[in-house]
Amino acid sequence: MTARAHDSRDPHQIELLQGSQEYFPALVAAMDHARSEVRLETYIFDFTGEAVEVAEALVRAATRGVTTWVVVDGVGTDALPPLWRKRFETAGVQWSVYAPLGTLGLLIPSRWRRLHRKLCVIDGRLAFCGGINILDDFHDPHHGRLNEPRLDFAVRASGALVLQAQETTAQLWWRMQGVRDMRAHHFPHAFSTLRAAGLNLPWRRAPEADTQGRKVARATLLLRDNVLNRSRIERAYRRAIAGATQEIIIANAYFLPGRRLRRALIHAARRGVKVRLLLQGRYEYFMQFHAARPVYGPLMDAGIEIHEYTASFLHAKVAVIDAGTSRAWATVGSSNLDPLSLLLAREANVVVQDSAFAVELRTRLVDAMAHGGRPVAAQEYANRPLLQRVKERLALGLMRLALFLTGRRY
């Protein structure tokens, strides 16, 4: 869907996409129409099921002369299969791995800083951002075939934020190339690539949104890194929550908000705002699953509704506030509300200030709660078994230990 904001000074055409079943066809169509370049970043690039269609689109683009860059994370993505390595090399698809683990792997805390954002920029005119990996919705690398698709979202956007997405993806690519050249002692080439990473790039004018006969919205791309944007996404959440007057709905896969974010939600509920959380209801990872449960109590005591999504895996990182009003606010992106995302990983979220877009996202989340979730009852939570409580405390302790080792406070 598309949406029109009353303020056209910051025009964007924004379309909400749910799951790989909507995201992959849109992404493939954009790649098939690319004329000059495709830049793709993802945490997971899998070659099972419908995800292969994206790989095929990359090959087609590179074969017809489109410069094609792909960056994947060294933890999230397995080694490139030999067949696809050959196909990519033959076509000219440039594949790079962010922060390969090396010998000691994740035993070194600095390697916990991962590339978790999911961005794609086509020709500097179209951008995709969200939480969806290049991974078939019905396939999980650890759990196999899923009966229902995982719940996740992305957006397709044109307008001013595309320039920022293009610059940040270009900057990361050239920095990675520069570091690689430095390690190989190719110093002259390294210096030239690192200069390119300084964003002295040929494009400077923001692409205009195609607004002829189409709706536009105000939108912003928020980035999280370990240099200039350490807390930008969390601050945006807190500001939006503080300004809420009617309703807050947050869907988040790995939910362990820090003290200030928890306090903002509790204050909102106590001043009469209806707050609903849609959280992970199926076991995926020990630490993320169990560490979230201890925060349920204080939130429910404040009147916050908690729903756990059980139809499939919840992978969404979205929120919508005051949908249908002039103050509507929504975000779709890659950032979980937990310390791994908010303190360590490279993340990207799009914030949309538009009533129609917020209503569309709210409708889908309410439907997910009604048909795929279950409410957590206060009595059920209070009477959970002792073994469950032990697992929760152990998981929370491991999370705190991890933060201590990174030197971060949360």
The total of other beta-carbon atoms located within 10 Å of residue 206's CB is 15
274 is catalytic: no
Q: Is 143 a catalytic residue?
A: no
- Listed residue (175, 157, 177, 161) closest to 223, CA to CA: 161
Query: What's the rounded Cα separation, in Å, for the pair 62 and 56?
Result: 10
Q: Is 196 exposed, middle or buried (0-12, 13-18, 19+ CB in 10 A)?
A: middle
**What are the helix (H) ranges across 64-108?**
82-91
267 has catalytic annotation: no
Active-site entry in 12, 46, 116, 181: 116
Catalytic hit among 123, 186, 210, 274? 123
In 142-151, which positions are buried (b, 16+ CB within 10 angstroms) versus exposed (e)? Answer: eeeebeebbb
46, 152, 322, 354: the active-site residue: 322
Do residues 23 and 165 make contact, with C-beta atoms less than 8 angstroms apart? no
Report how far residue 397's alpha carbon sits from residue 290's, in angstroms, rounded to the nearest whole number.
11
Residue 118 appears among annotated catalytic residues: yes
Q: Which two tokens stand for residue 191?
A: 């210096």
| Cβ contact 56:27 at 8 Å | no
Nearest to 251 by CA among 286, 268, 222, 276: 276
Determine whether 322 is an active site residue: yes
Q: Catalytic residue, from 118, 215, 290, 307: name it.
A: 118
Q: Which of 140, 315, 338, 354 is catalytic?
A: 315
**Catalytic machinery residues:** 116, 118, 123, 315, 317, 322
